[in-house]
C-alpha cells in the first residue's frame, strides 16, 4: 500500500491526471502526461509480473486489491 500511495499515485498517476500540481505552465502538461503514461505502463507491467497465480496482491483479497483495480481503470483516490 505504501508503494502504491507514495511511489505510484504520487508519481506517474499525478503526472497523468494532476499535471497542474507539477507545473503552472500549461505548455508543459502534455509532455509531463506522456512521461506519466510511460511510467504507469512500466508500473502495470511490474505489478502484473509480481501478482501470484490467484490474482490477489497477497494471499487472499485485501485492501490492496481494490487499490490496484482502481489504479488500473483510472479511479482517483
> Domain-by-domain residue ranges, the chain?
2-73
3-62 pLDDT, tens digit each: 887 888 888 989 998 999 999 999 999 999 999 999 988 988 888 888 888 778 888 888
Report in angstroms the alpha-carbon separations of 19 from 1, 24, 40, 57: 23, 9, 14, 28
- Residue 71 binned pLDDT confidence (cut-offs 50, 70, 90): low
Residue 62 makes CB contacts below 8 A (sequence gap 6+) with: 56
pTM (global) more than 0.75: no
What is the greatest pairwise CA distance in the chain? 45
Is the pLDDT score of 74 beyond 90? no
Q: What is the pLDDT at residue 77?
A: 47
Could you please report the per-residue DSSP string of 18-47? -GGGT-S-GGGHHHHHHHHHHHHHHHHHHH
The percent of residues above 70 in pLDDT, for the chain, comes to 90
Amino acid at each position: 500500500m505504501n508503494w502504491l500511495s507514495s511511489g505510484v499515485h504520487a508519481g506517474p498517476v499525478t503526472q497523468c491526471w494532476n499535471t497542474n500540481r507539477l507545473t503552472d505552465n500549461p505548455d508543459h502538461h502534455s509532455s509531463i502526461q506522456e512521461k506519466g503514461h510511460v511510467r504507469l505502463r512500466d508500473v502495470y507491467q511490474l505489478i502484473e509480473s509480481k501478482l501470484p497465480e490467484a490474482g490477489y496482491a497477497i494471499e487472499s483479497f485485501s485492501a490492496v486489491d481494490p487499490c490496484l483495480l482502481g489504479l488500473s481503470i483510472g479511479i482517483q483516490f
